[in-house]
Amino acid sequence: MNHQEILKKLPYGKDFLFVDELLDVNENGVVGRYTYKENLYFYDSHFKNSPVTPAVILTETLAQIGLVCLGLYLLKDDLDMQKASLAMTSSSIDFLKPVYPGDKVKVISEKIYFRFNKLSCRVKMEDETGNIICKGTISGMLISNLNEQ
């Protein structure tokens, strides 16, 4: 599966997609980029007159690039996104510096393990100069859609 095929399989709409491009994907990890556009909906309220990207959005970006994109690659054609989803089950992230509107970030993920449809990764986010913004571990698993009978 190539980078564009992975991006097309991501289960997010345009307002909640935090992946611009994948630079590398292999059996052991993934590297991708995202730019936090200045007009994103949460900047109007977090914080007024001094917008900063919420930690939950940073975590979501780490999960989308570092966990979901890697999971899609590892599962390849075995995953039908109409009948299953990749869901984050746990995270432990240390936040070291803020991210502002317009900032470009790179996410680097390294697989810790993938077994029994559970994926665990060591993730980090860097700014354009290579400074670490946040880092930690994220895990997730393949789940069947509840509305499928």
* Residues annotated as part of the active site: 46
Of the candidates 32, 104, 33, 123, the one whose C-alpha atom is nearest the C-alpha of residue 73 is 32
Distance CA 47, CA 50 (A): 5
Phi and psi at residue 97, in whole multiples of 5°? -155, 155
Pair of tokens at residue 36: 């936090």
DSSP letter, residue 130: S
DSSP code per residue over 61-129: HHHIIIIIIHHHHHHGGG--TTTEEEEEEEEEEEE-S---TT-EEEEEEEEEEEETTEEEEEEEEE-TT
Distance CA 131, CA 41 (A): 26
